[in-house]
Amino acid sequence: MNMREETLIPKIGVITDVRQDTPDIKTFRVVTPDGKKAFDHRPGQCAMLSIPGVGEAMFSITSSPTHTEFMEFSI
């Protein structure tokens, strides 16, 4: 049972870069703990990002799907 994939349980992401794009937008580069892209995605898709204790919310994946090493979120 614990082996079963559960989409409601988040996975850990590691922020490897933070870029200040505009005065109120930052872009975060996220990879898995072992340095890979968390999952493949298609343009327009989103991810639920959470901060424990604060909650989770949906954010667009702003990097191109063609980047295979990482995922970025402009928030």
Give the binding site for other proteins (CB under 8 A): 1-2, 4-12, 50, 52-58
Minimum CB distance to other proteins smaller for 48 or for 67: 48
Taking the complex as a whole, the smallest distance from the CB of residue 55 to other proteins amounts, in Å, to 5
Q: Is 19 exposed, middle or buried (0-12, 13-18, 19+ CB in 10 A)?
A: exposed
Taking the complex as a whole, the smallest distance from the CB of residue 54 to other proteins amounts, in Å, to 6
Q: Please, which residues bridge with residue 31 across strands?
A: 14
Minimum CB distance to other proteins smaller for 52 or for 66: 52
CB contact at 8 A, 33 and 14: yes
